[in-house]
Structure 1
Amino acid sequence: MKKASIIVFIGCALFFTSCTEDNNTTIEFETDEAISLNNLSYGDNAKQIYDIYLPKNRTQDTKVILLIHGGGWTSGDKIDMNGFKDFIKTELPNIAVVNMNYRFANNTTSPYPMQINDISSLINLLKEKRSAYQISNSIGLIGVSAGGHLGLLWSYAHDNEQQVKMVCSIVGPTNLLDDAYQNSTDPVINDLIGLFGNDEQNLQNASPLYQLNANSPPTILFYGGQDPLIPNAQGVALNTRLTELDVIHEFTFYQNEGHGWVGLNLLDTSIKLKSFIENNLN
């Protein structure tokens, strides 16, 4: 939920052409070159902006990965996901990448459904710009921490057109009704979960574990056994339910890691994530 220390190491950089876009004008972009567009609006709020990377030689079959940052639903920035963006550009060069910001919750404004609505608004905009961008409607979602929660929840409960072909949660909460949350004496956890209020039905609606069904998209999960913010049951319970429903999934539990990791386990995460994307985002 707070920004994870997961940083993807990239050994080489790609050359691409940067452009700007008037959000009120449809612009056709050359497809024989890679293009990067930054800080484009998908709503009226200053936080409703996104970056998009469009690979060269793309077509309307080009798949898209949407990145969702963490920050306890109250902070963070799309720049926190730039390591993932660079990783995809290098290792999966035929995929377009969208990196989004979203509106923050506070003591008077709940994350749910506001931030889910932001994801819907952006995905709807991408559909409108499909021809201009030369991308498909098939997307994958990758979220870290609070972003992992949002990615899972949108994929399981709000993807009415089944656009999501795979979703990845790295240390994302899955069950806001977990006793470890509801009975916690940790003021940090209480403040974060308290953002969703006390209504049990609302907490259930905002919990990916309860929204998962047999038609949910392939899911890959990564969690740390020593995470101070995410109880172990969060990942384990979702993995169990995915197995029961026979949903394609992978679950990696790093017993000695916390809310993010580096080194060999990060390499392991990168290898598994790349393979999962290749096998499912099609």
Structure 2
Amino acid sequence: MKALKSTFLILFITLVALSCSNETATEDPIASLDPSKYYEELNISYGEDADQKFDLYLPANRTANTKVMVLVHGGGWSAGDKADMNPIKDLLRQDLPNLAIVNINYRLADENNAPYPMQMDDITTIINHLKDNKVNYTISETIGFIGTSAGAHLSLLWSYAFDANNSVNMVCSIVGPTNLTDPAYLNNTNPDLQELLDLYGENASTDFLEEASPYHQATVLSPPTILFYGGQDPLIPTTQGTDMRDQLQSLGVTHEFTLYPNAGHGWVGLELIDTWVKLKAFIINHL
């Protein structure tokens, strides 16, 4: 179960190693917030819980127009860590060096703490923190999201239902759940999958599941969305991707969709390179 939750991010390490082989050493963090210099700060606290922390990476020569990419790790809403997203963070820093990056942790769900709305509240707190400190950080209020697995679900849901100020310019879902009322979920016979779904309540109402589903929260105003899924994923039925694609199409929302037919909850090799090429182009065009 734990292996299934963390499979995808491990696979990014190969791509990072290939693309960063000639990269120079990372700059040392500096104490000043001089916008002409690179700055990073790790484990910034935004709440009392030990998981309420994020890492901040600010590029050199940033301005009030510098855009922010928020990274949201997976782990079935109940596990995982922002460190899982470091390979993606490193790719962003190398290939899109003018972006500010925020790599977040959020409170993890358990039998006493449901993921929704708790994890939405955490993301909202982080976005508000960035807005309140935009002058000090020298960044804009324009943001994008990249999420994997459960983190992709959270990224989509916040972008579609909680972005009151229309700050999100693009969102990426990599193997993210989109519709908790999908018959492929409600009628599944996979105990590992059911264990994850039960975090939303063993007898959760349809209304509640729809409220927590990006598929049901998408509107004509939803931001440009790029989706990646594996055709052999044991946790994310193919319909989670194809139905989200069709919903965005019906709403007229700008989107891209890629299904790797033989991939599971992650992929390697040419498929992984294809993911990064498409995602990088999408960020350049929409963020």
TM-score normalised by L of structure 1: 0.95
- Counterpart AA for 2:234: P
The change in CA–CA distance for 1:14 and 1:67 in structure 2 (over 3 A counts) is farther
CA RMSD of aligned residues (A): 1.2
Equivalent position to 2:240, from 213, 234, 243: 234
Task: Answer whether contact 1:223 1:253 (CA < 8 A) is retained.
Answer: yes
Does 1:4 find its partner at 2:7? yes
2:118 equivalent to 1:114? yes
Task: Tell me by how many angstroms 1:164 deviates.
Answer: 0.3
Q: Given the superposition, is the C-alpha separation of residues 64 and 151 from structure 1 closer, same or farther in structure 2, using an over 3 Å criterion?
A: same
CA drift at 1:199: 1.6
Give the drift of 1:108: 1.8
8 Å Cα contact 1:14-1:90 kept in structure 2: no
Alignment correspondent of 1:38: 42
User: Could you tell me which residue of structure 2 aligns to residue 247 of structure 1?
Assistant: 253
Which residue does the alignment assign to 2:29? 18
- Is 2:131 the counterpart of 1:127? yes
Matched, 1:206 2:206: no
Instruction: Please state whether the residue corresponding to 2:249 is helix, strand or coil.
Output: helix
- Residue in 2 aligned with 1:280? 286
Q: CA deviation at 1:19?
A: 4.2
Q: How many Å separate the matches in 2 of 1:71 and 1:19?
A: 32
Match of 2:264 among 254, 258, 263: 258
Q: Give per-residue Cα distances to partners, 1:71-90, cap 9 Å, x unaligned.
A: 00000000000011000000
TM-score of the superposition, structure 2-length normalised? 0.93
Cα distance in 1 for residues equivalent to 2:25 and 2:229: 30
Q: Percent identity?
A: 51
The whole-number CA distance in structure 2 between the counterparts of 1:242 and 1:14 is 41
Residues 192 and 223 (structure 1), Cα distance of their counterparts in 2 relative to 1, 3 Å cut: same
1:217 to 206, 220, 223: 223
For structure 2, the 5+ residue unaligned runs are none
* Between structures 1 and 2, the one with greater helix share: 2
Matched, 1:105 2:147: no
Separation in 2 of the partners of 1:109 and 1:204? Answer: 19
Cα deviation digits, residues 111-144 of structure 1 (max 9, x gap): 0000011000000000111011100000000000
Unaligned ranges ≥5, structure 1: 21-27
Q: Which range is displaced more, 193-202 or 95-104? A: 193-202
Matched residues in 1 for 2:7 and 2:63: separation? 34
Does 1:162 find its partner at 2:166? Answer: yes
Distance apart, 1:180 and its partner CA:
1.2
1:262 offset after TM fit, Å? 1.1
